[in-house]
Amino acid sequence: MLKMPHVIPSYSRFPVSFVRGEGTTLWDDDGKSYLDFLSGIGVNNLGHAHPKVVAAIREQAGRLMHTCNLYRIPLQEALAEALTASCFAEQVFFCNSGAEANEAAIKLARKTMFDRKQSHRYEIITANNGFHGRTLATLTATAQDKVQKGFAPLPTGFKYVPYNNLPAMEQAIGEHTAAILVEPIQGESGIVIPDPGYLPALRDMADRHDLLLIYDEVQTGMGRSGRFWCHQHHVGAVPDIMTSAKALASGIPMGACLTTAKIATAFSAGAHGSTFGGNPLASAAALATIAVINGDGFLQSVVEKGDYLLAGLKKIAANHKMVTDVRGCGLLAGVQLNSPAEEAVSICLSRGLLVSCQMGTVIRMLPPLIVDQEEIDRALAILSSVLNDLF
Ligand SMILES: *Cc1c(COP(=O)(O)O)cnc(C)c1O
């Protein structure tokens, strides 16, 4: 066992370390190669060492990495323009992680109500088994005991309902409600996909009650679902606020909170901030990332490869009784087992395939969006062999 005497043991880690990556392939320190079907948990959407991203980072690192938000940052302005061109939003606040992006969204919702002289409306309704981050506010937004346990007292102003349950949401809305915050697909809880009518109905509910609809697209965004943003699969489901991080800058830490110009007025000068947020290095990496995603046919190829992966997983499900469900959208996929999935995930790793275990019984796959068909075939073969041998 590798000893890590000086790292706080807040993660349970596999005893493997990678030293190099290219595309979908990673190499460990023994020279063994792996198919990376996790992408650093949905971060390396363009695969490892994408030449366009690497060139942008190299160039910018040698020119200017950081200046701070006391001054204008042209690359940040260009990035905000590119992001707003991809969706409903008109303005963007930049930070450094998914938790921080959600923290910004929560603060923005509360401040919007305060500015409307409705400061009694501070409550955010979130969904059970969602995931929104590990800061005090975002772990409170994360309705999972295992994330919250031991950190009381938690901030007040959060309420939880079952996901994909409209009557429960309608019932939870009250005089204190400021916003609804949900993921368009729940990623950490094992690729839980709501009914097609769920997001449009939430939009309608938010309009009827004059409250804000917030999507956490930290995991589902940046092309992962086959659209630039996952909620764009639905008509009439545009949010008021949306958060991004993970794949936003292809591995340089970056988060973003996107909204309309009207709502953005709540963050007037001094209301919120971040030292690193939107610095030139991260902005250059994100701009290069977006240019690739916006390339001709890129998102269509994600849809096609996602369909191919899902069809392959369904074939595996038909041949393996322990697989009770297969769920996916674009290159976001979950294989539901009727028994613990941890051992399967660890044997996959030993056979050269990176996937993750979610909620104990789900095998999650988040391959890079540049994955090819032959790599998908190889990953499916490894998964199938592991399930054969295990069950
Ligand atoms: C990963 C994730 C977060 C938290 O992001 P961090 O960068 O780890 O803070 C928030 N929401 C969702 C949906 C995520 O998948």
- Regarding the beta carbon of 190 and ligand 1, being less than 6 Å apart is answered no
Pick the atom of ligand 1 nearest to 130's CA: 13
Burial level of 91, CB count in 10 A (0-12/13-18/19+)?
Answer: middle
98 close to ligand 1 (CB < 6 Angstrom): yes
User: Do the Cβ atoms of 231 and 329 come closer than 8 Å?
Assistant: no
The rounded Å distance from CA 98 to ligand 1 centre is 4
Q: Are residues 152 and 256 both part of a single domain?
A: yes
pLDDT, residue 45, reads 98
Structure confidence at residue 287 (pLDDT): 98
Give residue 361's domain range. Answer: 18-49+297-390
- Asked whether residue 282 is assigned to any structural domain, the reply reads yes
- pLDDT tens, position by position, 284-337: 999 999 999 999 999 999 999 999 999 999 999 999 999 999 999 999 999 999
Tokens of 2: 């590798």
Cis peptide before 153 (omega within 30 of 0): yes
What is the rounded CA–CA span in Å between residue 88 and residue 146? Answer: 34
Round to whole Å and give the CA distance between 231 and 181: 13
CATH number of the domain enclosing 223? 3.40.640.10
Give the contacts of 177 (CB within 8 A, at least 6 positions apart).
121, 123, 124, 125, 159, 209, 211
Q: Is residue 62 part of a domain?
A: yes
Pair 125, 159 in one domain:
yes
Tally of CB atoms within 10 A around 150: 6
- Quick check: CB of 216 below 6 Å from ligand 1? yes
Residues 61 and 30 grouped into a single domain: no
Same domain for 110 and 228?
A: yes
Q: Which residues are catalytic, by number?
A: 131, 216, 246
Q: Which of 316, 354, 308 is nearest to 335 (CA)?
A: 316
Give residue 179's pLDDT. 99
Ligand 1 neighbourhood includes 188 CB (under 6 angstroms): yes
Give dist(CA 231, CA 234) in Å, integer: 6
Q: Is residue 307 part of a domain?
A: yes
Query: Is any atom of ligand 1 closer than 6 Å to the C-beta of 87?
Result: no
- Which residues are registered as beta bridge partners of 28? 18
385 and 264 together in one domain: no
Note whether 144 and 219 are same-domain residues: yes
Question: How many domains are there within the chain?
Answer: 2
> Which of 237, 270, 293 corresponds to the end of one domain?
293
Nearest to 126 by CA among 207, 38, 46, 214: 214
Asked whether the CA dihedral 165, 130, 312, 309 is positive or negative, the reply is positive
Q: At what angle do helices 373-390 and 298-319 cross, to 10 degrees?
A: 20
Q: Is residue 218 in contact with ligand 1, taking CB distance under 6 Å? A: yes
Same domain, 152 and 215: yes
Task: Tell how far the Cα of 385 is from the centroid of ligand 1, in angstroms.
Answer: 31
Report the half-sphere exposure of 249 (CA within 13 A, side-chain side): 27
CA dist., res. 107 & res. 110, Å (int): 5
* 139 belongs to a structural domain: yes
Q: Is residue 84 assigned to a domain?
A: yes
Nearest CA, atom 6, ligand 1:
98
Q: For a pocket test of ligand 1, which of 131, 142, 185 has the largest count of ligand atoms closer than 8 A to its C-beta?
A: 131
Residue 377: which CATH number?
3.90.1150.10
Of 273, 293, 313, the domain-final residue = 293
Please give the pLDDT value at position 2: 59
Full pLDDT tens readout for the chain, 391 residues: 557 899 999 999 999 999 999 999 999 999 999 999 999 999 999 999 999 999 999 999 999 999 999 999 999 999 999 999 999 999 999 999 999 999 999 999 999 999 999 999 999 999 999 999 999 999 999 999 999 999 999 999 999 999 999 999 999 999 999 999 999 999 999 999 999 999 999 999 999 999 999 999 999 999 999 999 999 999 999 999 999 999 999 999 999 999 999 999 999 999 999 999 999 999 999 999 999 999 999 999 999 999 999 999 999 999 999 999 999 999 999 999 999 999 999 999 999 999 999 999 999 999 999 999 999 999 999 999 999 999 8
Mutate to test the pocket of ligand 1, among 45, 136, 218, 244 (most ligand atoms within 8 A of CB): 218
Which of these three, 239, 269, 293, is where a domain ends? Answer: 293
